[in-house]
Amino acid sequence: MPQALKILNDKGISNIENVSNNLSDKKRLIYKRMINSLDLISDKIKHLRRVYIFYSVPEKSLVQLADIVIQQRVTENTEINFFNNSEEDILILVKGELTCLDKKQRLSFNKNSIIILGLNAPQSVITLKSTTNSVVMKINRFKFFNLLASNNELVKNLFKTMKF
């Protein structure tokens, strides 16, 4: 039932509130969480497609990647940590802007940026700060590279997009 309500809500049906009011409290809570959630696989795939290196990746591979992605809304002036339970994350900035202070300079990342410690963010940086309301996707680095190792199609398409 909630999936049908999500579709109706996306279509802009005017009496969606009347339909949701007729639900039990438990179903209404599920409905509200779903409407406010960024955890739908289709939303994750849509956001991944906007990032240049994932643009031409087949949907089958993106579904596997979306399974290990965690999306998060971040308000302005919130700090985002690269480490989750002592495991390092790769960050993809879907919307907004993030900054960090290195010893030498201030780095800024804009939408659709992939942020990897030691590659485009200095190894000494542990947190990033949002300068605007942002949407960030976090991917556990270990799980991501294990997915790459087991999915030749994904690797082939990533290299094709990067054009070395």
- Map out the domains of the chain with their CATH numbers: 2-36 (no CATH), 41-162 (2.60.120.10)
pLDDT digits (tens, 9 = 90+) for 84-127: 777 889 999 999 999 987 777 788 999 989 998 888 888 888 88
Residue 15 scores a pLDDT above 70: no
Tell me what pLDDT residue 119 has. 86
Distance CA 148, CA 164 (A): 18
Which position has the higher pLDDT, 36 or 97?
Answer: 97
Q: What is the DSSP letter of 159?
A: H
Tell me what pLDDT residue 32 has. 66
Tell me what pLDDT residue 98 has. 93
pTM of the shown model: 0.72
145: CB partners within 8 A, 6+ apart: none
